[in-house]
Amino acid sequence: MTELELLGPRAHGEPLGQAQLKAVAEDFQVDEVLDIPLAGEGEHLWLWVEKRELNTEEAARRIARAAGVPIKVLSYAGLKDRQALTRQWFSLHLPGKADPDLSAAEGANLRILKSVRHKRKLQRGAHSANGFTLRLTRLEADRAGLESRLKRLAVAGVPNYFGLQRFGHGGGNVVDARAFAERRELPVQRNLRSRLLSSARSYLFNRVLAERIAAGTWDRAQVGDLLAFTDSRSFFAAGEMECSDPRLEALDLHPTGPLWGAGSSPATGAPQALEDSVADAEMALCRWLAEAGLAHERRILRLPIGGLTWHYPEPDVLQLEFVLPAGCFATAVVRELVDLLPAGQTENPCAF
Active site residues: 81
- How far CA 4 is from CA of 41, 240, 333, 336, in Å, comes to 50, 33, 16, 13
Nearest alpha carbon to residue 164 among 212, 138, 202, 201: 202
Strand partners, 112: 49
| Torsion of the alpha carbons at 266, 269, 272 and 273, rounded to the nearest 10 | 160
161 to each of 1, 40, 155, 263, how far by Cα in Å?
Answer: 16, 38, 18, 23
Phi/psi for 146 (5° steps) reads: -65, -45
Distance (Å) of CA 97 to CA 46, 68, 243, 257:
14, 11, 55, 46
Dihedral sign of CA atoms 173, 179, 184, 189 in order = negative
* 136 CB neighbour count, 10 Å cutoff: 27
Contact assessment for residue 243 and residue 215, using Cβ atoms and an 8 Å cutoff: no
Residue type, 174: V
